[in-house]
Amino acid sequence: MNGSRGWKIAAGPDARPVFPPDVIVRVKALACELPSASGVPLSRWSTDEIAREVIKRGIVADVSGSTIWRWLHEDAIKPWHFRSWIFPRDVQFEEKAGRVLDLYQGMWQGIPLESDEYVLSADEKTSIQARQRRHQSLPARPGEGQRVEFEYQRKGAVSYLAAWDVRRAKLFGRCAGRSGIIGFDRLVEDVMRREPYASARRVFWILDNGSSHRGQPCIKRLQGRWPQIVVVHLPIHASWLNQIEIYFSILQRKVLSPNDFPSREALKETIYRFQDHYETIAQPFEWKFTRKDLVNLLHKLHSPEFAHAA
């Protein structure tokens, strides 16, 4: 016997106990609750902690963490994982995000873009530190990955500003001592003085709400110098809709982690070399998130399930 009376266990020393379906359902329901709802002083459940809780509640007399894991795995329930998120609070979120998603599909205000119209996604990656390890990093060898000394000396930091042509897979970037309007405007100038952008009908710049390119002052500043620029601001807290962030994540994985640079100049040179290398192999990102997906997401976030987070 295992758990409540009447539960039968298959014969044999290695047989698994047989649990009624309603018990499994109750365990899965518990796993989908925050531990605080049960008065447990934890931020998230582990399988062993769920096992202890269901035994404490009298749901079962005995059960292992591995059995709990098997049940949860059936429905891809992972209460030990967590992901941070920010509830959309821009009242024009759908309208602003929709314009960007249309541009990724080659549309603007319901009309297909012409061949001499371009879409660029731009932002800055601030305060990238150059950290020189106290001992030389060692390459991988059989059975062992790279070895990187934990202690380091700080050798300064740079900001990296970049723009990505979403349809042509062209990359533009520059390093600066710090972020700000001057550095950002120099990036825009680097792009707009080149063809085909200099003689383009329109060049759409997709930007977030960072201090160097925020709101109407940014629009007036850029359009006053380059009338063909159309600034398209993302909603607040929507950098995940900015394609340049995909490139920044690639840069982070491929170049900046682990961080081992003897100087700030060496860091800048490596960033520029990777930028040139990446452009030779780059293809436009396969962007699949559409206006329809946006509508479905916002509907989900405004459902009763998420209402308490608003």
Query: What's the mean pLDDT when you consider all of the chain?
Result: 91
The number of helices, as runs of H, and strands, as runs of E, in the chain is 9, 7
Q: Exposure string (b/e) for 149-168, b if CB count within 10 Å is 16 or more?
A: eeebeebeebbbbbbbbbee
Give the separation between CA 20 and CA 18, rounded to whole angstroms. Answer: 7
pLDDT, tens only, 220-243: 999 999 999 999 999 998 999 999
Q: What pLDDT is recorded for position 305?
A: 67
Say what the pLDDT of residue 18 is: 84
- pLDDT given for residue 193 in this prediction: 97
Per-residue model confidence (pLDDT) at position 10: 47
Residue 88: pLDDT band with limits 50, 70, 90: confident
Burial of 112 (0-12, 13-18, 19+ CB in 10 A): exposed
Give the pLDDT score at 7.
45
Phi/psi of residue 280, nearest 5 degrees = -75, -20
| Torsion angle (degrees, nearest 10) of CA 252, 255, 256, 257 | 90
Buried b or exposed e, range 169-190, using 16+ CB within 10 angstroms: ebbbbbbbeebbeebbbebbee
Distance CA 270, CA 63 (A): 54
Confidence of residue 306 (pLDDT cuts 50, 70, 90): low
87 alpha carbon, distance to own chain's centre = 15
Which pLDDT score is estimated for 307?
54
Residue 178: the pLDDT is 81
- Asked whether the predicted pLDDT for residue 15 surpasses 80, the reply is no
- pTM of the model as a whole: 0.80
Rounded to 5, what percent of the chain is helix, strand, coil?
40, 20, 40
- What is the pLDDT, as a whole number, of residue 89? 81
In angstroms, the Cα distances linking 228 to 50, 98, 151, 224 are 60, 21, 49, 10
Please determine, for residue 12, whether its predicted confidence score (pLDDT) is greater than 60.
Answer: no
What domains lie within the chain, and their CATH numbers? 1-83 (no CATH), 93-137+148-293 (3.30.420.10)
Average pLDDT over residues 57-70: 94
Lowest mean pLDDT among 2-16, 53-67, 190-204, 241-255: 2-16
User: Which single residue is written with the structure tokens 């309603």?
Assistant: 22
Check pLDDT > 60 for residue 8. Answer: no
pLDDT at residue number 2: 44
